[in-house]
Amino acid sequence: MRRHEKAIQEISGIEEIIRRTSVCHLGLAQDGQPYVVPMSFGYRSRTVYFHAAREGKKLDILRQNPRVCVEFESDIAVARKEHGCAWTMHYRSVIGFGKAVIIEDERERFEALQLIMRQYAGDDASASDFSPAALERTLLFKVELDDITGKVSGYPKE
């Protein structure tokens, strides 16, 4: 990271940004062509969980190249200045890299879907009440993060 003064060093600070994020941007690459897709997600212990349909472009790409990048951001605000070129952005962000793996184990699939629902519903138990048919038609995959960094701009580090 070029701007070391903006780096978040503690994993707890990085994970707090992830908890406050609504969308994870999943970056993929196919034959040198980037592809980024916004995804809902769950997170636990340096692992990001995703759900998807059982077929589609992102899965075609993942099967060819499972190496991915994930990006999270929160607290986005434009910081206006007197002159246009001095404007900046305030934000908190996280970037991570890892390898996507399709989850086959039924228990892990169920837990992954619960983590995804918990990201959005908190402890609302009804949100984790999904049918076996819904679980069956859903593909779940995870990305264990090999590298993860956080950055803050315009806010105090927590």
pLDDT tens readout for residues 48-90: 999 999 999 999 999 999 999 999 999 988 988 888 788 888 9
37 neighbors 109 (Cβ within 8 angstroms): no
Residue 134 is predicted with a pLDDT of 81
101 neighbors 142 (Cβ within 8 angstroms): yes
Beta-strand pair 47-52/42-44: antiparallel
How deeply is 8 buried, as exposed, middle or buried, from its count of CB atoms within 10 A (0-12, 13-18, 19+)?
Answer: buried
User: CA 34 to CA 28: how far, in whole Å?
Assistant: 6
156 neighbors 6 (Cβ within 8 angstroms): no
98 neighbors 144 (Cβ within 8 angstroms): yes
Residue 50 is predicted with a pLDDT of 98
Query: Per residue in 92-148, pLDDT tens?
Result: 999 999 999 999 999 999 999 999 999 998 877 566 677 888 888 899 999 999 999
